[in-house]
Amino acid sequence: MAKIYTRRSARIAQTVALFTAALLLSGAAQANEALAQKNNCLACHAVALKLVGPAYKDVAAKYAGQADAQALVMENIRNGSAGKWGDLPMPPQPKLSDADLKKLTIWVLSAK
């Protein structure tokens, strides 16, 4: 009896831990999405759809496994980019703070 009870509470504790982790993760994703919104990125981009610019999940797929991806993509966001995804260029983003640029880059490269 006691054994069953213990096993059940362990399972409940595990479920609560998983749920908390999921909530924390979705909170972080929402914060990043709000940051992208605030910096106008979502006027031209979406995570899963190509709009004016490439879908972020396609960007993540393109650079997956590339060791210098983060530095490269940070540079391309900061200075703008042309000719990699189509005919339209991306304008440079001089007003983006270094901290926000890094957060957005990590978020884009983890998009699925």
Contact residues for ligand HEC, defined by CB under 6 A = 39-41, 43-45, 52-54, 59, 73, 76-77, 81-86, 88-91, 93, 96, 104, 108
Asked whether the CA dihedral 30, 38, 53, 90 is positive or negative, the reply is negative
Specify the residue, 21 or 41, whose C-beta has the smaller distance to ligand HEC. 41
CB of 83 to ligand HEC, least distance (A): 5
CB of 24 to ligand HEC, least distance (A): 23
Instruction: Judge contact between 70 and 106, C-beta under 8 A.
Output: yes
How long is the chain? 112
